[in-house]
């Protein structure tokens, strides 16, 4: 195992996200909030020594995170919520922050833009 000099944030939808998702037109998904929260996006962050610094960093990039979470379910931005403020982000998502990240795979990590496949 190899220590990775990053922190990680796990973005977990809350009830407002769940309600928005089920209100989308032509949505036949029958997902519970617990199901949504069981397999969430994990974001690598700089290696912070204090949780407050990590939260401050998330506050800086919240708009990207908000859009990423919405786009994962609906690409039509006209259907996205009107209020995508920092306050709304924290109302729509819980964030678990983990300060230690380990890589169990030997070999280099490959970077590619979000949404791009090999």
21 and 48 Cβ atoms separated by less than 8 Å = no
CB atoms inside a 10 Å sphere around CB 11:
21
At residue 5, the pLDDT reads: 86
Distance (Å, rounded) from C-alpha 90 to C-alpha 71?
17
Q: What is the mean pLDDT of residues 112-117?
A: 66
Confidence of residue 48 (pLDDT cuts 50, 70, 90): confident
Q: Could you give the maximum distance between any two Cα atoms of the chain, in Å?
A: 45
The whole-angstrom distance between residue 42's C-alpha and the CA centroid of its chain comes to 6
CB atoms inside a 10 Å sphere around CB 7:
21
**Percent of the chain scoring above 90 in pLDDT:** 66
Distance (Å, rounded) from C-alpha 4 to C-alpha 17?
31
Confidence of residue 117 (pLDDT cuts 50, 70, 90): low
Query: Is pLDDT of 118 > 80?
Result: no
48 and 59 Cβ atoms separated by less than 8 Å = no
The 10s digit of each residue's pLDDT in 52-81 is 899 999 999 999 999 999 999 999 999 999
Question: Six-digit token pair at 104?
Answer: 């169990």
Of the listed ranges 15-24, 25-34, 78-87, 105-114, the one predicted with least confidence: 105-114
Question: Six-digit token pair at 19?
Answer: 């309600």
7 and 45 Cβ atoms separated by less than 8 Å = yes
Query: Is pLDDT of 115 > 70?
Result: no
């Amino acid at each position: 195992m190899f220590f990775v000099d990053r922190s990680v944030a796990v973005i977990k939808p809350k009830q407002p996200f769940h309600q928005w998702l089920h209100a989308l037109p032509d949505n036949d998904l029958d997902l519970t909030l617990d199901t949504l929260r069981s397999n969430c996006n994990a974001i690598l962050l700089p290696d912070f020594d204090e949780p407050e610094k990590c939260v401050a960093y998330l506050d800086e990039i919240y708009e990207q995170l908000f859009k990423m979470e919405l786009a994962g379910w609906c690409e039509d931005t006209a259907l996205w919520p009107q209020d995508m403020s920092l306050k709304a982000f924290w109302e729509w998502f819980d964030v678990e922050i983990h300060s230690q990240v380990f890589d169990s795979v030997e070999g280099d990590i490959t970077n590619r833009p979000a949404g791009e496949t090999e």
